[in-house]
């Protein structure tokens, strides 16, 4: 495989020209010039209300529709009106679960994991007020995996939904969502997948995932602070409208986008696909646009794995350090989101030590509070998390390790 041209990559992200080493990418990636240029272009040339007959309104409307088509291609949706966009994954999941609320019957069972970001737990637990029974599929504390056998024990004829993450934002583990989807569908239930921690590192394919609902945020994938929820068309059509009373149930995706989409941020998202296609082309691919995106992500994964393994190799041999998650970066089993703790130490001082060297990492529970508590790591203020993106360099990881080593060895 052709190696990633990091000089070419980093020129696409203006913030990388500064002196900060960005290793908090799971919290939010840096933004592409291509994205920002589109947002600016829309605001300065197309800031009119859509749906009017005059030419400027028609042109602006086409830009917003082009954005939806671009996102549909990016995620491999069958129909472009399966693409529902909104402010953030949390808000989209809240809207979605509220749309499900009228159809919930007492005794309906919903399975959630204790390893998810609260965005894919909180909305579901609110359905308890309609009589839903929430059951937790907990991480095995020895393997830190979600065991399929445990899920099978939880599934029942009353199961309506299973909600899980595609990749943990703490553990970094890539979960076998397609296998889960088979089990869930065999039980007559549906699957909702949060891919926020997965989408920056692998090319999303909602069809291959087997999910019924699939959601993630663009601001983790080099874009604006915006998000997408995909759902199977037949499912979305069955759902009640969240919009004005005169917006009918067949008006997709508008019925699930109260107040409509943010026009300029939607248009900015086209820049994500443009970048991925350009990177795939630079790597020698001359296939379809999605094939070129896949080439780009294959190169991203190879580079990220090398960086992650460099850090993990250091952490594996450092006395007193516990890696929270898989200890190696191989076989596509994890994304380069690496969490760890230090024996008998609070996580915060270690992170603050690195602040003075302009190295951006983070500590805490990252809204996966239930997992942190289950692992007993809340007593240490959560984990120290380093989250790598494809634009990071070997030199940046080496600088991190140098100053991290100092922080770990500091007397306390």
3-class SS at 368? Answer: coil
Residue 281 lies in a domain: no
- In sequence order, which residues have a C-beta less than 8 Å from that of residue 213 and are 6 or more positions away? 96, 190, 191, 192, 193, 229, 230, 231, 232, 235
Mark whether 351 and 203 lie in a shared domain.
no
**How many Å apart are CA 85 and CA 228, to the nearest integer?**
4
Average pLDDT over residues 216-235: 98
Mark whether 93 and 182 lie in a shared domain.
yes
- In sequence order, which residues have a C-beta less than 8 Å from that of residue 157 and are 6 or more positions away? 187, 188
Mark whether 146 and 257 lie in a shared domain.
yes
Q: How many Cβ atoms sit within 10 Å of the Cβ of residue 128?
A: 12
- What's the pLDDT at 155? 98
3-class SS at 276? Answer: helix
Helix (H) or strand (E) holding 383: strand 383-387
| Residue 159 structural domain | 36-272
Mark whether 14 and 98 lie in a shared domain.
no
- What's the pLDDT at 49? 94
**How many Å apart are CA 340 and CA 324, to the nearest integer?**
5
Q: Are 82 and 75 in contact (CB under 8 A)?
A: no
Residue 241 lies in a domain: yes
Q: What is the DSSP letter of 174?
A: B
Considering only CA atoms, which of 30, 2, 4 is closest in space to residue 394? Answer: 4
Residue 80 lies in a domain: yes
* Structure tokens, 278: 């350009």
Pairing of strands 21-22, 359-360: parallel
Average pLDDT over residues 72-99: 97
18-38 per-residue burial string, b: 16 or more CB within 10 A, e: under 16 = eeebbbbbbbebbbbebbeeb
The CATH number given to whatever domain includes residue 336 is 3.90.1150.10
Mark whether 104 and 152 lie in a shared domain.
yes
Average pLDDT over residues 113-125: 98
pLDDT tier for residue 331 given thresholds of 50, 70 and 90: confident
**How many Å apart are CA 66 and CA 238, to the nearest integer?**
26
Torsion of CA 248, 254, 208, 122, to 10 degrees: -100
pLDDT tier for residue 330 given thresholds of 50, 70 and 90: confident
Mark whether 322 and 201 lie in a shared domain.
no
Q: Are 267 and 42 in contact (CB under 8 A)?
A: yes
Mark whether 21 and 159 lie in a shared domain.
no
Helix (H) or strand (E) holding 152: helix 148-154
Q: In this predicted model, what pLDDT tens digit does every residue of 273-289 receive, in sequence order?
A: 999 999 999 999 999 99
What DSSP line would sit under 8-63, residue for residue?
HHHTT-GGGGSS-EE-BTTT-----HHHHHHHHHHHHH--S-TT-SSHHHHHHHHH
Mark whether 195 and 212 lie in a shared domain.
yes
Last residue of a domain, one of 272, 296, 319: 272
Mark whether 242 and 340 lie in a shared domain.
no
Domain count, the chain: 2
Average pLDDT over residues 166-171: 98
Residue 1 lies in a domain: no
Last residue of a domain, one of 272, 307, 322: 272
Per-residue pLDDT for 411 more than 80? no
Residue 91 lies in a domain: yes
Per-residue pLDDT for 119 more than 60? yes
Mark whether 114 and 211 lie in a shared domain.
yes
Residue 318 lies in a domain: yes
Residue 279 lies in a domain: no
Q: Are 125 and 112 in contact (CB under 8 A)?
A: yes
Percent of the chain with pLDDT over 70: 99
Considering only CA atoms, which of 208, 165, 213, 211 is closest in space to residue 185? Answer: 211
Q: Considering only residues 87 and 409, tell me which one the structure prediction assigns the higher pLDDT.
A: 87
Question: Quick one: how far is CA 213 from the chain centroid?
Answer: 14
Torsion of CA 280, 233, 270, 390, to 10 degrees: -50
Mark whether 192 and 101 lie in a shared domain.
yes
Q: In this predicted model, what pLDDT tens digit does every residue of 271-327 receive, in sequence order?
A: 999 999 999 999 999 999 999 999 999 999 999 999 999 999 999 999 999 999 999
The CATH number given to whatever domain includes residue 191 is 3.40.640.10
Mark whether 331 and 400 lie in a shared domain.
yes
Residue 371 lies in a domain: yes
* Structure tokens, 168: 């943990």
Q: What is the DSSP letter of 327?
A: S
Per-residue pLDDT for 412 more than 80? no
Neighbouring C-alpha atoms within 13 Å toward the C-beta of 401: 18
- In sequence order, which residues have a C-beta less than 8 Å from that of residue 243 and are 6 or more positions away? 251, 254, 255, 256, 257, 258
Considering only CA atoms, which of 315, 359, 317, 366 is closest in space to residue 341? Answer: 315
Q: Are 140 and 150 in contact (CB under 8 A)?
A: yes
**How many Å apart are CA 280 and CA 294, to the nearest integer?**
7
Last residue of a domain, one of 223, 240, 272: 272
Q: In this predicted model, what pLDDT tens digit does every residue of 23-33 receive, in sequence order?
A: 999 999 999 99
């Amino acid at each position: 495989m052709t190696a990633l041209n990091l000089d070419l990559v980093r020129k696409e992200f203006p913030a990388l020209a500064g002196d900060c080493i960005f290793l908090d990418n799971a919290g939010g990636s840096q933004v592409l010039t291509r994205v920002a240029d589109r947002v600016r272009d829309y605001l300065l040339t197309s800031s009119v209300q859509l749906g009017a007959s005059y030419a400027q309104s028609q042109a602006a409307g086409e830009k917003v529709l082009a954005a939806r088509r671009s996102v549909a291609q990016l995620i491999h949706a069958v129909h472009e009106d399966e693409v529902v966009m909104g402010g953030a994954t949390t808000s989209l999941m809240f809207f979605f679960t509220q749309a499900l609320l009228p159809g919930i019957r007492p005794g309906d069972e919903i399975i959630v994991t204790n390893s998810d970001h609260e965005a894919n737990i909180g909305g579901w637990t609110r359905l308890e007020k309609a009589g839903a029974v929430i059951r937790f599929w907990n991480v095995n504390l020895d393997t830190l995996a979600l065991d399929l056998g445990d899920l099978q024990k939880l599934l029942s004829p009353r199961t309506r939904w299973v909600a899980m993450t595609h990749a943990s934002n703490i553990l970094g583990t890539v979960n076998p969502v397609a296998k889960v989807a088979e089990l869930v569908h065999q039980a007559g239930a549906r699957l909702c997948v949060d891919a926020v921690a997965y989408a920056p590192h692998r090319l999303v394919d909602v069809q291959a995932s087997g999910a019924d609902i699939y959601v993630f945020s663009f601001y983790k994938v080099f874009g604006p602070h915006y998000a997408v929820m995909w759902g199977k068309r037949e499912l979305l059509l069955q759902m009640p409208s969240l919009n004005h009373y005169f917006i009918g149930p067949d008006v997709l995706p508008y019925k699930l986008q109260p107040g409509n989409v943010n026009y300029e941020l939607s248009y900015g998202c086209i820049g994500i696909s443009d970048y991925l296609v350009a990177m795939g082309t630079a790597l020698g691919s001359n296939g379809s646009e999605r094939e070129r995106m896949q080439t780009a992500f294959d190169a991203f994964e190879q580079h990220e794995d090398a960086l992650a393994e460099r850090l993990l190799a250091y952490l594996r041999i450092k006395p007193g350090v516990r890696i929270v998650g898989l200890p190696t970066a191989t076989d596509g089993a994890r994304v380069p989101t690496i969490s760890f703790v230090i024996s008998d130490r609070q996580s915060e001082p270690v992170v603050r030590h690195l602040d003075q060297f302009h190295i951006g990492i983070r500590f805490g529970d990252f809204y996966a509070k239930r997992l942190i508590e289950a692992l007993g790591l809340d007593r240490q203020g959560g984990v120290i998390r380093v989250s790598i993106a494809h634009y990071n360099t070997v030199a940046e990881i080496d600088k991190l390790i140098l100053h991290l080593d100092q922080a770990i060895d500091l007397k306390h």
